[in-house]
Amino acid sequence: MNILIIGDVYGDVGKEMISLYLNRIKEDYNIDFLIINGENISKGKGMSLSDYDFLKQYNTDVITMGNHIWFRNDILRYIKHNKEVLKPLNLPRYTPGEGSILFNVKGLKVRVTSIIGRVFMFDFANNQFEAMDDLLEHDTSDIHIVDFHGEATSEKIGFAKNYDGRLTALYGTHTHVQTSDSRFLPEGTAFICDVGMTGPFDGIIGADQEAVLHKMKTNMPARFVQSNTEGQFNAWVLEINEKTKKVSKHHTISITPQKKYEKQ
């Protein structure tokens, strides 16, 4: 079983890169299951109904979200009825939506869970360890993939280490820069700190640099807008042995204006 994971898709340039490369990559890697983080897809913040429809036209199986989940009111109209759109599991239980979902893929039970970090993130998120422990207590999945949407690499690594051997794979989103630490942890869980962004290459993690630099230099409010520079496409591919239900191989995909697409 081959699973393709795409990190934060950012704005119009991100959608353009999806249109250019996704179908080709799915075919080249014989992808059975597709997970995309959609929390930045609508001009950098949130996911509108039209952009949800855009991702679904590529047969996206799961759309994970993050700290911008409630930025657009559209999501409140469809998240209750579209279970494949995941809020972070450790948000207050009174918020709409599900934080984890179970699929049947090629006869195996595949679970995808969304988690949000608390370091430099939501101050009202619940303890992510408590949320995961509660979920695992009754989990019957064969394969469990977790999107950890967080700012601090230490928090992502700590969480992954705590559940090493109990999760099939854990990957980070939110920081938008693909890390070079794709690896197996000691007990077999596949891990990467951040899958990377699919969106503008020469902005500042997706946003136009002028407003970002103005805020950095002056500490004054600034309205960030999506960058319209050339695009990049970042992803993580997991090859899972259907007998052992473990990741047998994993590798990253990184396409930039300087690095053209080549199947590994």
Rounded distance between C-alpha atoms, residue 161 and residue 208, angstroms: 36
Q: Which residues pair with 115 in a beta bridge?
A: 148
Residue 58 class from Cβ within 10 Å (0-12 exposed, 13-18 middle, 19+ buried)? middle
SS3 231: strand
The tally of CA atoms less than 13 A away on the side-chain side of residue 175 is 20
The sign of the dihedral angle between the CA atoms of 258, 261, 262, 263 is positive
Tell me which of 68, 144, 149, 174 is the catalytic residue.
Answer: 68
Catalytic-residue membership of 68: yes
**With helix as H, strand as E and coil as C, how does 13-72 read?**
HHHHHHHHHHHHHHHHCCCCEEEEECCCCCCCCCCCHHHHHHHHCCCCCEEECCCCCCCC
SS3 169: strand
Q: Which residues contact 227 (CB under 8 A, 6 or more apart)?
A: 11, 13, 199, 200, 202, 203, 204, 206, 207, 208, 209
Active site (catalytic) residues: 68
